[in-house]
Each structure stands twice: as structure tokens, then as C-alpha cells.
């Protein structure tokens, strides 16, 4: 019974790890290619097509992160990447409490 539960936990942690790695990559690409003129807030009409690699969603997400956290928003993709790697590793302990420490 415990072995089945452990195998299920490893499977879910693997899926979560892969999703987190993809999210970190997309967020990093959105921040790298951020151009404020992709949004209608800064230029009318906005760039068509958007210069952001991820498109309008990437432009908006990068803008929101940069406005909330400024330059420290660059830490978020790195933290998500670290948490994704931690989920994919064979770390035997609980992973979720480590997320708070990674973000802190």
C-alpha cells in the first residue's frame, strides 16, 4: 500500500516538475523580450505583431511582474526553475515547504 502511494507521489511530482520547468522557460522568454510598446497602455496603436516571444499574454505578464517587483522580477523564473528541479529530483522529503524557502 505504501509503495503504491509512493509511486503515485513520484508520478505527480514529475508532472508538476515538468510543468514548472515549462512555466519558468515561458516566463523567462516573456521577460527577456518585454517591450512596453506591445501594450496599448504605452502606445496607441500598440506594436502589431507584438515583439514579445510569448505574444500579448507574455507582454502583459512581464509588465505586471515588472510593475509589482521591478528588477527583482527576474528572480521569479529562477525560483520556479529551482522548484521544478526539486520536484523532479528524487528528494525523499516533502517538497512543498521548500517552495517558501526558495521564494524567500
3-state secondary structure of 67: helix
Give me the pLDDT at residue 31, please. Answer: 95
Give me the pLDDT at residue 2, please. Answer: 62
DSSP of 43-61: SSSPPSS-SSTT-HHHHHH
Give me the pLDDT at residue 38, please. Answer: 83
Give me the pLDDT at residue 37, please. Answer: 83
d(CA 83, CA 68): 22
Residue 32 scores a pLDDT above 90:
yes
* 9 — pLDDT class (breaks 50, 70, 90): confident
Give me the pLDDT at residue 21, please. Answer: 96
pTM for the whole thing? 0.79
Amino acid at each position: 500500500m505504501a509503495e503504491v502511494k509512493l509511486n503515485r507521489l513520484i508520478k505527480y511530482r514529475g508532472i508538476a516538475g515538468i510543468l514548472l520547468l515549462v512555466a519558468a522557460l515561458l516566463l523567462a522568454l516573456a521577460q527577456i523580450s518585454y517591450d512596453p510598446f506591445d501594450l496599448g497602455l504605452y502606445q496607441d496603436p500598440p506594436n502589431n505583431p507584438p515583439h514579445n516571444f510569448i505574444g500579448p499574454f507574455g507582454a502583459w505578464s512581464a509588465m505586471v511582474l515588472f510593475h509589482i517587483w521591478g528588477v527583482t522580477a527576474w528572480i521569479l523564473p529562477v525560483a520556479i526553475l529551482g522548484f521544478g528541479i526539486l520536484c523532479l529530483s528524487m528528494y525523499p522529503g516533502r517538497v512543498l515547504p521548500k517552495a517558501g524557502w526558495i521564494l524567500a
